């Protein structure tokens, strides 16, 4: 149960009782199912490269064109340098 900035109570159910993997919950979410409507087709020019609007996700989520997740592999010392 949450209370929003207008002092309205919000009861949010994600349909999964108990322990469910984050990726399963994400794949059943409105953001995932309706990403075409929810993710703007916004492009920003950075150093002459077109960068689309992207959401940063949890490492458990799938890597998608509109969803980035942290890199969980190992980098060499050369890769760590800027």
Tell me: the pLDDT tens digits for 35-73? Answer: 888 888 888 899 999 988 888 888 888 999 899 988 888
Residue 76 belongs to some domain of the structure: no
Question: CA torsion 12→27→69→19, rounded to 10°?
Answer: 60
Residue 11 belongs to some domain of the structure: yes
pTM above 0.85, yes or no: no
| The pLDDT value given to residue 14 | 62
Q: Which domain holds residue 38?
A: 2-70
Residue 75 belongs to some domain of the structure: no
What is the per-residue DSSP string for the chain? -EE-TTS-EE----S--S---HHHHHHTSHHHHTHHHHS---EEEETTEEEE--EE--TTSPPBTTEE----S---HHHH--
Residue 43 belongs to some domain of the structure: yes
Total domains, the chain: 1
Residue 53 belongs to some domain of the structure: yes
């Amino acid at each position: 149960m949450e209370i929003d900035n207008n002092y309205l109570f919000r009861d949010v159910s994600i349909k999964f009782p108990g322990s469910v993997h984050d990726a399963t919950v994400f794949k059943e979410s409105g953001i995932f199912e309706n990403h075409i409507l929810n993710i703007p087709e916004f492009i920003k020019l950075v150093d002459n490269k077109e960068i689309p609007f992207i959401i940063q996700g949890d490492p458990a989520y799938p890597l998608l064109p509109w969803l980035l997740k942290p890199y969980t592999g190992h980098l060499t010392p050369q890769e760590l340098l800027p």
